[in-house]
């Protein structure tokens, strides 16, 4: 049960007032960093700007309190934008709420059943492929607001979206474009300026400075650009109240697939973030408690009108760099955003849409590891490159659900193919074989030709059962020795083929002897009944014992 115990309780053992101050300061700073991102990500996902804050506040609180990481900061992330937009387009906001809650329940179940370690079975080629694919779709999705295109609707499909943009080029708002470029420039230059500033000023993120400067400029000069207020109307500054959505079996059946995708994506991203932060603070997170915390965060985010959330790597790293070492920092980050929601939300209506688009363009550019992508294409095995490129293309041109499903299946099939290729069955040579090279005969043991020895190497599973049929006998054969020292695992399909082979050989009055059978294959053979068919006395500890036993039978 300790694996499910929230990290919050462990952090209080050696907690001090000095660390409390550091955690509060780090939480305030991370809250300021999360403010523009939460609003921008919500708008990019197709929901109201305040819903981004709801998510960061509600989900962030539960992730901090019940999670398995000391420093994890939860909230909306860029990885979810594409899938959220797709769910809303197909099922509406009520469908998104149900999918978010379902994903939370799935994550809690994952944690309770200790599935935290299973996330490592998602290959890096898949995570790299869909991360780069998400970055491309997120980048393209911001071009409408960045260029100020006058478009009533934006198609959800990638190719249709590009075609619509090309047709709308004539409606470009040059002032919005210049303002957006100015925001990008501020975000590029500000880090160099801020590092020279004293104290708290050095922690202000470039995205917040870009929003403040461009918002003031647009408001004072009364620039003809779209703002959050002109697009979304009056923003709510009230704290959300929980609402239970109307759910029926048909809706659950339709949304189970996207819910699983949200859960898998949230699990992967949160645990990756936890691993990164572990390295920064020299700690060890509890993966299963983290999944439970992520699950509760998404359940309550959905109930309070938020969107899917997960551990945010950039915000978590900022928390650590600013002195955060306990979940108190994550809770303070939620309190900071709550004060912004209650007191300053009406001001957010003046933020230009092109500025938010600029913020997300920078986020999209930074979230994809293109160096790793190109390095994998150049250096990885062809099968891995195929998985990488397929996942990337499916994410861009179809959706993340299809990309992850196909990517995992492809990776599994190609892995099984690779493993089956490593499984081999080799017949031992005799001293007088014509193909024995000079000097090799001295290394071979002299055994009578009435004894056949076969050595199996590699795992024996359903994709390698055809190899078993390579074991053959001759008219003079009296004993067949099957050496299995290099067989680490065997499955039911291979057991069936092995049992059929043993039965066939024994029907010819030929003895079958097994040498050096490892623990898992031996237990499987005993459970299957094959060991009883062969006879316990025909299992030998090593090849020397097996050969001596076989020679005794022949004599």
| Each residue's pLDDT tens digit, 145-203 | 999 999 877 887 888 889 999 999 999 999 999 999 999 999 999 988 988 888 767 77
Q: How confident is the model at residue 438 (pLDDT cuts 50, 70, 90)?
A: low
Average pLDDT, the chain: 89
More confident residue, 337 or 137: 337
Instruction: Kindly state the average pLDDT of the residues 1-27.
Output: 87
Q: For residue 428, give the 3-state DSSP assignment.
A: coil
Strand partners of residue 454: 427, 482
The CATH 3.30.750.24 portion of the chain extends over: 424-554
Instruction: Kindly state the average pLDDT of the residues 372-381.
Output: 92
How confident is the model at residue 134, as a pLDDT?
A: 83
Take residue 181 and report the two structure tokens written for it: 């470029």
Is residue 441 scored above 80 in pLDDT? no
Q: Which of 105-109, 204-208, 216-220, 549-553 has the lowest mean pLDDT?
A: 204-208
Residue pLDDT, tens place only, 391-418: 999 988 887 778 878 888 898 888 888 8
Long-range contacts of 539-543 (CB under 8 A, 24+ apart): 539/513, 539/514, 540/513, 540/514, 540/515, 540/516, 541/515, 541/516, 542/485, 542/515, 542/516, 543/453, 543/481, 543/483, 543/485, 543/515, 543/516
Residue pLDDT, tens place only, 457-500: 989 988 888 888 888 899 899 999 999 999 999 999 999 999 99
Range 424-554 has CATH code 3.40.50.300: no
DSSP tag of 275: H
3-state secondary structure 433-465: CCCCCCCCHHHCCCCCCCEEEEEEECCECHHHH
Q: How confident is the model at residue 366 (pLDDT cuts 50, 70, 90)?
A: confident
As a whole-number percent, the residues of the chain with pLDDT over 90 amount to: 53
How confident is the model at residue 222, as a pLDDT?
A: 93
Q: How confident is the model at residue 444 (pLDDT cuts 50, 70, 90)?
A: confident
Which sign does the torsion angle of CA 246, 247, 250, 256 carry? positive
Long-range contacts of 502-509 (CB under 8 A, 24+ apart): 502/530, 502/533, 502/534, 503/533, 505/473, 505/480, 506/533, 508/473
Q: Which of 44-53, 275-284, 345-354 has the lowest mean pLDDT?
A: 275-284
CA distance 510 to 477: 7
How confident is the model at residue 120, as a pLDDT?
A: 66
As a whole-number percent, the residues of the chain with pLDDT over 70 amount to: 97
More confident residue, 366 or 400: 366
How confident is the model at residue 173, as a pLDDT?
A: 95
Instruction: Kindly state the average pLDDT of the residues 220-237.
Output: 88
Model's pTM, two decimal places? 0.75
How confident is the model at residue 439, as a pLDDT?
A: 65
Selection from 32-36, 319-323, 538-542 with the highest mean pLDDT: 538-542
């Amino acid at each position: 049960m300790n694996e499910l115990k929230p990290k919050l309780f462990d952090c209080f053992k050696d907690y001090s007032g000095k660390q409390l101050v550091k955690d509060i300061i780090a939480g305030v700073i991370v809250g300021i960093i999360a403010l523009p991102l939460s609003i921008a990500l919500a708008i990019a996902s197709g929901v109201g700007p305040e819903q981004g804050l709801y998510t960061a506040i509600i989900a962030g609180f539960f992730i901090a309190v019940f999670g398995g990481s000391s420093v994890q900061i939860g909230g909306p992330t860029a990885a979810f934008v594409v899938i959220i937009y797709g769910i809303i387009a197909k099922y509406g906001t009520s469908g998104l709420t149900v999918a978010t809650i379902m994903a939370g329940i799935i994550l809690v179940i994952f944690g309770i059943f200790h599935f935290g370690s299973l996330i490592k079975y998602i290959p890096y080629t898949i995570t790299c492929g869909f991360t780069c694919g998400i970055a491309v779709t997120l980048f393209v999705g911001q071009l409408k607001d960045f260029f100020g295109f006058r478009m009533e609707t934006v198609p959800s499909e990638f190719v249709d979206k590009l075609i619509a943009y090309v047709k709308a080029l004539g409606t470009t708002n040059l002032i919005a474009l210049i303002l957006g470029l100015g925001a990008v420039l501020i975000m590029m230059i500000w880090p160099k300026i801020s590092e020279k500033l004293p104290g708290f000023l050095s922690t202000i993120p470039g995205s917040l400075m870009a929003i403040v400067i461009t918002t003031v400029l647009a408001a004072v000069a009364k620039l003809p650009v779209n703002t959050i207020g002109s697009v979304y109307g009056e923003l709510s500054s009230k704290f959300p109240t929980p609402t239970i959505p109307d759910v029926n079996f048909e809706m659950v059946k339709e949304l189970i697939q996207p819910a699983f995708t949200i859960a898998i994506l949230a699990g992967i991203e949160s645990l990756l973030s936890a691993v990164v932060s572990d390295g920064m603070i020299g700690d060890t997170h509890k993966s299963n408690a983290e999944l439970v915390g992520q699950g509760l965060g998404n359940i309550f985010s959905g109930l309070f009108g938020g969107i899917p959330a997960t551990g945010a790597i950039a915000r978590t790293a900022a928390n650590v760099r600013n002195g955060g070492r306990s979940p108190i920092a994550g809770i303070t980050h939620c309190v900071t955003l709550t004060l912004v929601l209650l007191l300053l939300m009406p001001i957010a209506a003046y933020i230009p849409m092109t500025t938010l688009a600029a913020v997300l363009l920078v986020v999209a550019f930074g979230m994809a590891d293109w160096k790793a992508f190109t390095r994998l294409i150049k250096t990885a095995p062809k099968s891995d490159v195929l998985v990488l490129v397929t996942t990337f293309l499916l994410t861009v041109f179809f959706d993340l659900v299809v990309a992850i499903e196909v990517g995992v299946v492809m990776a599994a099939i190609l892995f099984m193919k690779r493993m089956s290729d490593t499984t081999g069955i080799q017949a031992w040579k005799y001293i007088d074989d014509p193909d024995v090279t000079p000097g090799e005969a001295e290394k071979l043991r002299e055994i009578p030709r009435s004894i056949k020895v076969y050595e199996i190497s590699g795992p024996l599973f359903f994709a390698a059962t055809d190899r078993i049929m390579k074991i053959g006998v001759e008219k003079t054969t009296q004993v067949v020795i099957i050496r299995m020292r290099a067989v680490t695992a065997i499955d039911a399909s291979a057991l069936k083929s092995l049992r059929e082979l043993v039965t066939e050989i024994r029907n010819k009055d030929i003895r079958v002897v097994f040498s050096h059978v490892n623990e898992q294959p031996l237990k499987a053979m005993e459970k299957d009944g094959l060991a009883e068919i062969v006879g316990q006395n025909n299992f030998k500890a090593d090849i020397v014992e097996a050969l001596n036993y076989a020679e005794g039978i022949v004599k």
